[in-house]
């Protein structure tokens, strides 16, 4: 029931804060430092993107900027929820539902965008003559809107079930914010898991398809094109790693709740590890893939990072 779920949520967080510290002060300090660093780096990359028109009109960089914005908002919201839990702050249920809805959209937006970026690399390397016609600014904007619409479907479905199952008094109840308050029936958890697994399956097929096609093109290409195809295949591999971490994040709540039934301290350690490995880590791979490996972007990034002292 909703009441039991909210009581369980409050018990989990309250016990974690008061008994063992959720997480301990040192762990919380480490998380805050990492969040600040990632937000600073991502913000610098976003500024770099908007400074050059060549980036703003290129589909690949537009997708990249979209992931940066999504990751920044996601990190801010997840860190806000973490701080609410750490300080045992109660908020109204409707506020928590709104935050969870936005986080749900952003959770799917990043892996879907990564999949779209792999497809863009496939078109650039395997269909170079059609790349300019396909990868236009208008199509990039349309693709981003489609990605956001698709990302909203799972959260909308879960919230529709919630709205049809609770009374109006539920929305004004004050509780510690957690995604679990949106789950009012046990079968909703299975539904959420099924959606996540389906998305993982579809995206994995697309990633594997693009990688195999790019590798085939690399073998048949000339020396110049072979370097381009080789770099493209490495980019797809990095996207695959990032995508795997993002999709694993969708399964973390189920793992955490199962561990909670066994041991509280183990639950806290698992939740802390999941936050670092599957929320923070994937968000730091984006700067690596395009911010540092892309020569054009790296030169502009270096210029603004050094406040214009590097004139190259």
Q: What is the pLDDT of residues 109-167, one digit of tens each?
A: 988 998 898 888 888 888 888 888 888 899 999 999 999 999 999 999 988 988 888 88
Specify the pLDDT at position 82.
Answer: 83
Specify the pLDDT at position 145.
Answer: 96
* 16 is a domain residue: no
Peptide bond into 289 cis (omega under 30): no
Q: Which of 192-196, 262-266, 281-285 has the highest mean pLDDT?
A: 192-196
Specify the pLDDT at position 94.
Answer: 92
Per-chain mean pLDDT for the chain: 79
pLDDT digits (tens, 9 = 90+) for 183-193: 888 787 778 87
* 19 is a domain residue: no
* 213 is a domain residue: yes
Global confidence as pTM: 0.81
Residue 97 pLDDT greater than 70, yes or no: yes
What letter would DSSP give residue 171? G
* 311 is a domain residue: no
The total number of structural domains that make up the chain: 1
HSE (CB half, 13 Å, CA atoms) of 59? 25
Q: Which domain covers residue 216, as residue numbers? A: 1-11+24-306
DSSP 216-234: HHHHHS-HHHHHHHHHHHH
Which of 223 and 285 is assigned the larger pLDDT? 285
Q: What is the rounded distance in angstroms from the CA atom of residue 189 to the CA atom of residue 184?
A: 9
* 65 is a domain residue: yes
* 17 is a domain residue: no
Residue 194 pLDDT greater than 50, yes or no: yes
Closest CA to 20 of 266, 275, 276: 266
* Residue 224 banded pLDDT, cuts 50, 70, 90: low
User: What is the torsion angle, in degrees rounded to the nearest 10, for the CA atoms of residue 272, residue 157, residue 113 and residue 55?
Assistant: -110
Cβ density class 2-33: b for 16+ within 10 Å, e for less: beebbeebbebbeebbeeeebbeeebbeebee
Q: Percent of the chain scored above 90 by pLDDT?
A: 12
pLDDT digits (tens, 9 = 90+) for 233-279: 777 777 677 777 766 776 676 677 777 777 767 777 787 788 887 77
293: domain CATH number is 1.20.1070.10
* 263 is a domain residue: yes
- Using DSSP's 3-state secondary structure scheme, residue 309 falls into coil
């Amino acid at each position: 029931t909703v009441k039991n779920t909210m009581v369980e949520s409050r018990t989990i967080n309250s016990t974690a804060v008061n008994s063992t510290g959720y997480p301990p002060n040192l762990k919380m300090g480490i998380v805050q430092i990492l969040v600040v660093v990632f937000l600073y780096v991502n913000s610098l990359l976003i500024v770099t993107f908007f400074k050059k028109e060549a980036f703003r009109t290129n589909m690949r960089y537009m997708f990249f900027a979209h992931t940066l914005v999504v990751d920044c908002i996601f990190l801010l919201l997840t860190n806000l929820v973490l701080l609410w839990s750490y300080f045992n702050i109660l908020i109204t249920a409707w506020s928590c539902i709104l935050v969870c809805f936005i986080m749900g959209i952003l959770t799917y937006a990043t892996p879907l965008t990564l999949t779209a970026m792999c497809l863009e690399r496939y078109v650039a390397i395997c269909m170079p003559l059609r790349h300019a016609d396909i990868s236009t600014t208008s199509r990039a904007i349309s693709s981003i809107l489609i990605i956001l619409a698709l990302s909203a479907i799972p959260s909308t479905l879960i919230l529709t079930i919630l709205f049809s199952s609770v009374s109006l008094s539920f929305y004004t109840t004050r509780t510690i914010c957690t995604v679990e308050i949106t789950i009012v029936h046990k079968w909703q958890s299975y539904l959420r898991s099924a959606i996540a697994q389906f998305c993982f399956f579809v995206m994995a097929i697309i990633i594997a398809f693009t990688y195999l096609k790019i590798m085939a093109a690399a073998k048949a290409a000339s020396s110049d094109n072979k370097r381009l195809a080789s770099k493209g295949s490495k980019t797809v591999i990095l996207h695959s790693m990032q995508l795997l971490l993002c999709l694993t994040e969708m399964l973390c709540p189920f793992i955490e709740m199962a561990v909670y039934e066994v041991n509280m301290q183990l639950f806290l350690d698992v939740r802390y590890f999941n936050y670092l490995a599957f929320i923070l880590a994937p968000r730091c791979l984006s700067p690596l893939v395009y911010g540092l490996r892309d020569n054009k972007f790296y030169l502009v990034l270096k210029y603004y990072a050094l406040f214009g002292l590097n004139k190259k």
